[in-house]
C-alpha cells in the first residue's frame, strides 16, 4: 500500500519536474541547430539570424581561457508566455537562466532578428541576446572547470561578474548606475554591473588568470 501511495504522489511530482531537466518535453513547436547548439523556440526560427546570434555568442565565450573548444548547449527561446513561466518559476523577471548542470539554457522574450532580449524591468530591461547567451554558457563553463562544490562557495558577484565580463556587457549602463545611486534606488542588476567591474579589475591585476580570480577571497 505504501509503495502504491508513493507512486501516486511521486508520479505527478515527476511529471511537473521533468521539464526542468528536459524543457523540450513542453512541446516547443520549432527546432533548429546552429554552431554547437540545439535550439527550440516558441516562434518560427530565422536560421540566418540564429546563425549570426550563435556565432557572436560562441565568439564571446571562446575569449575565456577556461572555455573548451566546443561548448554545446540546448537552448530554449520563449516569448515570455506559459513555457517561460513554468521553467523560470521564481526567476521570471530575469533574461535567461541555466538548468541541468549548465546544459539547458532557457531564454525570456527573445528576438533573433534584432539580437535582443527583454524582461519586464523599466530600467535595464533589454540586452543583446548573443551576450545573454554568452553569459549563460559561461555559467556552464565555470561549472565544468571548477566543479559544483567549489563554485557553490564563490560569492555571487564574482560568478555573475565573470559571466558578464565574458558577455562584454551588463543590463545596466554606467549612466543607469549613476542615476540609480543618485536616487538611492536598489536594482537586482547592480550586483552584475559592480561584479563585472570588480572582476575586470582583478583580472587586470593578476594578468588575466581565471584560476587566481576564483582562488582569491
Does pLDDT of 4 surpass 80? no
Distance in angstroms (rounded) separating the CA atoms of residues 173 and 85: 27
CATH of 23-215, one of 3.40.50.410, 3.40.225.10, 3.40.250.10, 3.30.2010.30: 3.30.2010.30
Q: Domain residue spans in the chain?
A: 23-215
Q: Which residue has the higher pLDDT, 178 or 121?
A: 178
Does pLDDT of 10 surpass 50? no
Grid coordinates representing 138? 559561461
Give the global pTM.
0.90
Contact 123, 158 (CB under 8 A): no
pLDDT, tens digit, 9 for 90 and up, residues 75-114: 999 999 999 988 888 788 899 999 877 799 999 999 999 9
Does pLDDT of 8 surpass 70? no
Amino acid at each position: 500500500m505504501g509503495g502504491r501511495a508513493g507512486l501516486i504522489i511521486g508520479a505527478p511530482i515527476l511529471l511537473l519536474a521533468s521539464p526542468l531537466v528536459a524543457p523540450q518535453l513542453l512541446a516547443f513547436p520549432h527546432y533548429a541547430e546552429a554552431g554547437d547548439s540545439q535550439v527550440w523556440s516558441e516562434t518560427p526560427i530565422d536560421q540566418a539570424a540564429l546563425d549570426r546570434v550563435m556565432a557572436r555568442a560562441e565568439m564571446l565565450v571562446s575569449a575565456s581561457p577556461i572555455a573548451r573548444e566546443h561548448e554545446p548547449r540546448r537552448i530554449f527561446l520563449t516569448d515570455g508566455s506559459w513555457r517561460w513561466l513554468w521553467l523560470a518559476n521564481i526567476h521570471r523577471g530575469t533574461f535567461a537562466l541555466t538548468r541541468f548542470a549548465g546544459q539547458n539554457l532557457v531564454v525570456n522574450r527573445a528576438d533573433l532578428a534584432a539580437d535582443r532580449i527583454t524582461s519586464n524591468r523599466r530600467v535595464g530591461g533589454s540586452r543583446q541576446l548573443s551576450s545573454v547567451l554568452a553569459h549563460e554558457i559561461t555559467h556552464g563553463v565555470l561549472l565544468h572547470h571548477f566543479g559544483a562544490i567549489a563554485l557553490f562557495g564563490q560569492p555571487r558577484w564574482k560568478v555573475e561578474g565573470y559571466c558578464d565580463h565574458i558577455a562584454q556587457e551588463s543590463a545596466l549602463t554606467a549612466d543607469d548606475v549613476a542615476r540609480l545611486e543618485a536616487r538611492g534606488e536598489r536594482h537586482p542588476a547592480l550586483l552584475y554591473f559592480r561584479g563585472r567591474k570588480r572582476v575586470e579589475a582583478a583580472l587586470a591585476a593578476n594578468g588575466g588568470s581565471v584560476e587566481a580570480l576564483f582562488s582569491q577571497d
